[in-house]
Structure 1
Amino acid sequence: MSSPLDITQVSNLALDLLDEAPLTSFDTDTGHVARWFRRNFWPVAWSLMRKHPWNFALARANLAADAAVPVFGAQYAYPIPPDCLRVLPLSADGREDGREVWYKAEGQQILTNEPPPRPVRYIRRIDTPGLFDAQFVDVLAATLAQKAAHFITGKQSYAQALGQMAAGLLAEAQMIDALEGAPDGPIDDFWLDARRA
């Protein structure tokens, strides 16, 4: 479930792991630690979102094809949604357990031979910490602390220990995140369907 924390509070969770003084305000503090967090917070958060299909960051769209047909290799091109961090595997009908279809994400387009409208599932960029899952916040704080450790403390051992902590928290969060909802059915396989016919 979502976490009611703001960006300053999430940053302070990371600083707590480093046993450092908290930020008063993410936006207005002027020290070198605050500047580090302003430079790194969102790139780290979006990178973590991209690594796993977190339930809080999933989105669906029905895309219309671009007017321009790809030069070669695919019959259709679809614009990648502007808030997309990662396109999830396409299926013929958009279902998670549907028959997977060929596609490539290139530049700002999805290339495929599947006709429009194209149902797409993707990981969207979330820009509001209050929408983050509570366990994602734990992973983000540990990852921020790990990345900031050497810069702030000068101790490489902090970075290594926090890296292990972040990896453990990520594995636990991914497992729990995957358990929210009914399990997917078996993936449709046209080879098996053809054999059964």
Structure 2
Amino acid sequence: MPSQLDVTAICNLALDYLDEAPLTSIDDTGAVGRWFQRNFWPMAWSLMRKHPWNFALARASLAASAVPPLFGWPNAYDLPSDCLRVLPLTTDGTENGRPVPFKVEGAQILTRQEAPLKLRYIRRIDNPGLFDGQFCDALAAALAQKAAHFITGKQSYSQAVGQIFASLINDAQSIDALEGTPDDPIDDFWLDARRA
């Protein structure tokens, strides 16, 4: 479920882990505020990219690029502008369809699959109010771990918050994976051929 938290609230959760005073705004011009301004979004997008969070999943149907690859693959498709990570391709676009070989090079997907290419991907979310609540907790702990030595001058805070982060991210990913019905088994044309 969406957290409805803003950037300042998530940064203040991180500061709570470090027993530090909260920011009044992410636009705070002090050293701590500037640190969060530099680090919040790169860390949020990095954490998003590491797991197929339900709140960040997207689908697209891509037309072939006007310029095919020079060699090796017959088709190229331009990545969506908000794409953080391409999920495994399948012939029908479903999670458990027949796998399709592909490579990501630069801002394109190279494959033998004909257009349109049905794509599932992790998209970049730029509104923290859309983040899952447990993702926010894990992000706050990750920020606290990275900021710990800079803010407190104590390495022990980084280690302690690192353990909290490991627990939070494990729980968040487990719960995120349980939202929805179980997937159908992967299409297996070998099994289908034996049954025929």
Tell me, yes or no, whether TM beats 0.5. yes
Q: Given residue 132 of structure 2, which amino acid in structure 1 is its aligned partner?
A: D
**Residue 178 of structure 1: aligned partner:** 177
Structure 1 window deviating more from structure 2 (187-196 vs 83-92): it is 187-196
Is 1:75 equivalent to 2:63 in the alignment?
no
CA distance in 1, matches of 2:189, 2:100: 11
Q: Tell me the matched-pair count.
A: 196
Counterpart CA distance in 1 for 2:192 and 2:32 is: 58
Please give the secondary structure, in 2, of the residue aligned with 1:72.
coil
Look up the SS of the partner of 2:104 in the other structure.
strand
Whether 1:127 and 2:134 are equivalent positions in the alignment is no
- Aligned match of 2:117: 118
The whole-number CA distance in structure 2 between the counterparts of 1:145 and 1:189 is: 45
Separation in 2, partners of 1:85, 1:137: 18
Structure 2 CA distance for aligned equivalents of residues 140 and 191 of structure 1 = 43
Is 1:24 aligned to residue 27 of structure 2?
Answer: no
What 5-or-longer segments of structure 2 have no aligned partner? none
Look up the equivalent residue of 2:53 and give its one-letter code: W
Aligned partners of 1:60, 1:117: CA distance in 2, in Å?
A: 12
Q: Hey, what's the Cα distance between the residues in 2 that align with 1:189 and 1:172?
A: 32
User: Shift of residue 68 of structure 1?
Assistant: 1.1
Q: Which runs of 5+ in 1 are unaligned?
A: none
- CA separation in 2, counterparts of 1:67 and 1:196? 42
- Map Cα deviations across residues 15-54 of structure 1 (whole Å, 9 max, x no partner): 0110101111102x11100000000000000000000000
CA deviation vs aligned residue, 1:74-127 (integer Å, no higher than 9, x gap):
110000000000000000000111111101111000000000000000000000
Paired residue type of 1:182:
T
Distance in 2, matches of 1:181 and 1:19, equals: 37
Matched to 1:181, the amino acid is: G
CA drift at 1:164: 1.2
- SS of the equivalent of 2:145 reads helix
Q: TM-score, with normalisation over the residues of structure 2?
A: 0.98
Moved over 6 A (4+): none
Residue 174 of structure 2 corresponds to residue 153 of structure 1: no
**Does structure 1 residue 97 correspond to structure 2 residue 96?**
yes
Identical aligned pairs, as a percentage? 72
RMSD: 0.9
Code of the aligned partner of 1:3: S
SS at match of 2:85: strand
Taking the aligned partners of 2:74 and 2:194, their CA distance within structure 1 comes to: 28
